[in-house]
Amino acid sequence: MTRSILIVAAERGLGLGLARQFFERGWHVVGTARRGADVAGLREVGNADSRRLTVATIDVTRPDEIPAFLLSLGSRRFDVAFLNSGIWGAMHQSAAVATNQEVTDIMMTNAFGPIRLAHHLVDRLVSDRPTLAFMTSHRGSTALNEEGGLELYRASKAVLNMLARGMHAQNRALGLTVLSIHPGWARTAMGTLDGAVEPEIELETSVRGVADVVERHMGSGLNLYLDYRDTYIPW
Ligand SMILES: NC(=O)c1ccc[n+]([C@@H]2O[C@H](COP(=O)([O-])OP(=O)(O)OC[C@H]3O[C@@H](n4cnc5c(N)ncnc54)[C@H](OP(=O)(O)O)[C@@H]3O)[C@@H](O)[C@H]2O)c1
């Protein structure tokens, strides 16, 4: 049977790369974008077989959009729901000077928004091997933070990891798998800070690795914090 994945934030960057990767592996892909976003690239992914590509609309910071979004999914169930949305946040990245709005924006987009949506998606997952995946960062590791800095981004991904781990614990009876995946430092708008810096890896390398990690661990029932090379990251 054709496997299906919901990718939240799939119209550019790693999300778009993942949509293409899973489509090419034969999956049915539902990719989302925010209202008004340019979804031409995402639609193009489905050119070879438009029945396997669906575009939906959701902004993870907007709880008011959730009911219509769920309705638009119809009765479809997913093998994997992948929550990918993220922002870098204020360039200063400093907890000392951050405004309340800057903290709210990054926490809602990177952590609480995706987790809130994920709670609504649990019963849209297949019942035998349900899997949630979150696009986190190695910057979210408390154990690895030996150098400080990047406080807003680190904090948002640490919270994402914590809440994802909690979701796994709360849904153990369902056998829910929860994967927190670091995609590597990859060539995207965020990874290059809009062209200002050189990343470590190409987008293709990242999304191929992330898709491999999903396929390897989906349905395991575990909560894992891994990078795109399938290497464990300390919490
Ligand atoms: N690239 C890297 O090196 C790297 C490293 C570690 C982790 N990550 C993580 O990987 C994920 C994807 O990043 P990327 O590098 O592909 O960045 P990107 O090219 O900047 O893409 C970010 C994606 O998030 C979406 N998004 C932002 N705010 C949203 C919201 N409120 N609701 C729904 N979607 C929203 C964007 O949609 P719009 O087009 O509407 O803005 C876009 O699709 C992020 O979670 C990021 O933290 C990236």
- Residue bearing the CA closest to ligand 1, atom 25: 85
Check: pTM over 0.85? Answer yes or no: yes
In a domain, 233, yes or no: no
What CATH number is attached to the domain comprising 43?
3.40.50.720
Q: Ligand 1: residues whose CB is within 6 Å?
A: 9, 11-15, 34, 37, 59-61, 84-87, 109, 135, 137, 182-183, 185-186, 188-191, 199
In a domain, 192, yes or no: yes
**β 177-182/53-57 pair status:** unpaired
- pLDDT, position 9: 98
In a domain, 187, yes or no: yes
In a domain, 167, yes or no: yes
What is the share, in percent, of the chain residues with pLDDT greater than 90? 99
Using one digit for the tens of pLDDT, what is the confidence trace for 162-184?
Answer: 999 999 999 999 999 999 999 99
In a domain, 175, yes or no: yes
Q: How many helices (H) and strands (E) does the chain have?
A: 7, 7
Structural domains of the chain, count: 1
pLDDT at 146 over 90: yes
Q: 173 C-alpha vs ligand 1 centroid, how far in Å?
A: 31
In a domain, 234, yes or no: no
Atom of ligand 1 nearest to the CA of 34: 40
Mean pLDDT (whole number) for 103-122 = 98
Domain range holding 215?
4-227
In a domain, 121, yes or no: yes
Using one digit for the tens of pLDDT, what is the confidence trace for 69-100?
Answer: 999 999 999 999 999 999 999 999 999 999 99
Q: 135 C-alpha vs ligand 1 centroid, how far in Å?
A: 9
In a domain, 214, yes or no: yes
Mean pLDDT (whole number) for 189-199 = 94
In this prediction, residue 1 has a pLDDT band, given cuts at 50, 70 and 90, of confident
Spatial neighbors of 224 by CB under 8 A, at least 6 apart, are 178, 179, 180, 217, 232
- pLDDT, position 196: 94
Average pLDDT of the residues of the chain: 97
